[in-house]
Structure 1
Amino acid sequence: MQQPLLSVVINTKNSEAFLDKALKSVTFADEIVVVDMHSTDTTQKIAKS
């Protein structure tokens, strides 16, 4: 029997100060989805890296 996949969804806006740490804290997930709510800082760049 196949193990179920685990997805983590992070909703964010202007979270450049802590997004990197948040992403590193969920490395156990099979999939990480970042939903950016029109950030004006470097949140999108961090999420794509």
Structure 2
Amino acid sequence: MPRKAIEEAALVRGRLTYMLELARGRSHIASMRGAGTRDRAIAEVLVAEG
């Protein structure tokens, strides 16, 4: 596989991984009902992502 194709595949994989983690975090946040638990869920996601 040419180098350019490998680099593009790595970029696509990175984007897909990012989108999956974003969806996971969004799902976690959405599962929280109250404002306090929602805010804690947002904080958890931000810490896990960083």
Q: Which has the higher helix share?
A: 2
TM bin (shorter chain): 0.3 to 0.5
Which is higher, the Rg of structure 1 or of structure 2? 2
Q: Which has the higher strand share?
A: 1
Q: Choose between structure 1 and 2 for higher RCO, CA contacts under 8 A separated by at least 6 residues.
A: 1
